[in-house]
Structure 1
Amino acid sequence: MTAIIIRTIFLSVLWGVLIYDSSQDSISMISLMMICSLSFALFFITPVSRNKLFLYICQTLLLLVSSLVSPEPLLAWGIFCYFHLEASIHLLPEKYRLFMYSTVLFFGVEAFLFWDSYTPAVIPFFAMFLFMTWKVNEGSHDLKEQRLLYDQLLGEYRKLKRVLYTAERNSKAEERTRIAREIHDSVGHNLTALLMKIEMLSIQHGYSLFKEIKNLAAASLDETREAVKALKEGEIEGIQSVIQLIRKLESESSVMVELTTQHGVLSTRLTNKQNIAVYRCIQEGITNAMKHSCVKEVKVTLGKTALGHLHFIITNQLDEVRPFQMGFGLTNMKERVEELGGKLEIHQTDKEFILRGAFPVEEVATA
C-alpha cells in the first residue's frame, strides 16, 4: 500500500510539472491533461488486470504521443522510462520481449514521421535503455523463480519435519506403551503375587508380624501403577514441554524458531504452575510474532539469572514499525508472570520486538 502511494505521488508530480510547463499553449495543456487522465487510469488498472502486456503497450503509445504534444518532451520521456522499467519487472520474459519489440516499432514510426523534432543522441540512449531494461527483466524473472523454488523447498522441508515429528511422537508413544506393559506384566504381577503370599502367611502366623511387609509391598504396587499410568499418558513437563511446543509449531507452520538454552536450565524442575506459565508465555510469544510480523523467524532464549530466577527472551524482527498496543494475549502473559512474583518487559525498536520475562523458581523437591 505504501509503495503505490509513493508511486502515485511521484507520477503526479511529474505530470503536474509537465502540464504546468505547457500552460502557455492551451491546446497542449488540454491534450496533456487528457493523456494524463488516461495514463493514470491504465496505471491503476494494470496491477489487477490479466492482460498487462496490452495495457503497457497502450501506456507506451500515450507517452510517445505526450512527448510530441509537450513543449518539454524530456519529462514525458522520463515518465516513459519509468513505465518501461516497471514493465520489465512485472512482465514475463517472453511477454516483455513482445513489449520491447512493439516499443521499438512505435519509436521507429514516430522517429520516421517526426524526424525533424528528434536529436541523434536520443537513438543510442534509447537503445542503451532498452538493453538495460531487458537485463532487469531477466534478473527479476530469475529472482522470482529462485524465490518460488525456495518456497517450494521450504514447503517440502516443512512437510518432512511434520512427518518426522509425527513419526517420532508415535515411536515414543509406542515405546512408552511397551515399557508400561512390561512393567505391568512383570513387576506388577510379581508384587501382586507377593501380596497374596504375605496375606497367606499373615493368616497362618499372625497378621501383626507381616503388617509392615504387606504395607511396603502395597505401596510399591501403587507406585508401580502410577509409573505405568504416567508412561501411558506420556506427559512432558518443565523446559522439555517448551522444546516440544517449539517443534510442534515448526512442523505445523512456516515459523522458524532459534532456541538457545543456557547452562542448567534444562535440568530445572518446576512446579505445575511454573511449568504452565513458561509454556503459555513461550506459546503466546511465538504466536504473537507469527500474527504481527511477516518475518517468520523467532529467537527464544531460556536461562537462569545470577539469583537463580528462570528467565526467557523472545525476539522477532519487524518488517515495518507499527504502533504498539497491549492486546489480550500479552496482558494475560504479563499477569501469569507477575502471579509467580516475576516481571515481564516488552520492548519495540525500529527493527525488533522483544519480550523479556523472569520469575523466581521454586524447584520441585525430588525424592
Structure 2
Amino acid sequence: MTEIALPKLNNNDTEYELTEWLVDDGQWVSAGDVIAVVETSKSAVDFEAEQDGHVHRVVQERGTCRVGDVIAHVFATEQEREAFAAEAAARAVVAPEPDAEVVLTASARELAKSAGIDHERLRSLGRRVVRREDVEALLADRGQPATDGFALSRIQQAVAAVVTESHRTVPSAFVAVKVEVAAAQKHARRLGKESGTLVGLPELVVKAMARLREQFPLCYATGWDGGTVRLAETARIGVTIDAGAGLFVPVVGKAEVQSVAEIADTLLEFRTKAAAEGFAEADLADANIMLSLHTDPGVVTAGPIVFPGQSAVVCLAATHTELVLDEDGEVTPSKVALVSMVYDHRVLNGRDAVQYLSALKALIEAPAGLN
C-alpha cells in the first residue's frame, strides 16, 4: 500500500478543496493518470497518480484538505484494497474515548465559534479531526445557516491573507512620478497595427520594467531573510488582472526576451483565463516584481501592497489630460499618467525608488526602443 498525500500547491493557502474524483474506489490507474481535481484559492489543479495500482479514496468530494493530508491509498491488488477497506470500516464504528481531544481545522474552529457550537457537541461527532464541512452538517441538521454573514469567496480569502501578511511583515514606502504618455500611446498603436494584436500602455510598461532589471537588481530581489535577498536572473513580472471573477496576478516570465507583441498576447491570454478562472498554478508562480494596473478612468494613483517575499510593486494609473505651458508659453494639452512605486524599505531606499521610476519614465516617454 502507498499513501497519496496532498503536496503544497499554493504558497498563499493552508487548505484546499478536493472538488472532484475522476476515478472510482478500486479502479486501476497508471502512473501519470489524473485521478482528482483539487481547488486552490487561485485555480483548479489536476492531481496525478504517482504509481500504478488500485485506488482507495479517503477524502470525500468537496472535502477540505490540508497540506500533507492523505487523500487516497494505492494497492497492488484489489484484494488488498478490500481488506484495508473492511478494516478501516471496522475501526470507524468504534466510539472515541469520552475524554479524547478533538482537533479542529482553522476554518472549522472559526465557524463553530461563530455558531456557538460547544466542544462536547463537536466531540459527539466521533471524529478525531473536525473539518468545516462537519460543522456545516451540524448546522444544517438544526436548521441554522452556516454563517450569519456574507461568506467571502476562496479567492477573496486568499487576497485577505496576502494583504494581512504584507501589512504585518513589510515596512513599505511610496513614491510617484508623472509620465507623459502620448508618444507611448502612438508607439503602441503602431506596434499593434504591425503585429495584429492589441498593444497598449501596460504592455510597454512591462517591457520597460524588464529592461531595467540589470540596472536596478534590488527592485527585483526576493526572499528577504534578515539582511540577505536573492537577486533575480530574469524579470518575472506579475500583472494584476481582475475580470470580475476575483483578483489574479499571473506572471510574464522572461520578459526581457519577449517582444511587446508577445507580451500583449500573453496578457490577452491571461485576461481570458481570469474571466474563466482557468489559471494553472504555474501561471501565478515566482514573480519577482509586480505591475499593479489601476487604469480605470479617473484613477489618479494608488498604493498597492508589496507581495510578501518581493521588494517592490509598480502601479500604473489612468491616463488623463492636463493643460501645460509649452516652451513658447502657450497652453497645450498633454496626456499624462502617474506611475508610482511601493517598496520594501528594508531593501530599497527612497533614492533607489526615485531613480528606478525616473529610468522607467524615460523609457516610456521615449519608447522607440521598446519593441
Q: How high is the TM-score relative to the length of structure 2?
A: 0.23
Give the structure with higher Rg (CA): 1
What is the TM-score when the length of structure 1 is the normalising length?
Answer: 0.23
Higher helix share: 1
Point out the structure with the larger strand share: 2
More RCO (CA 8 Å, sep 6+): 2
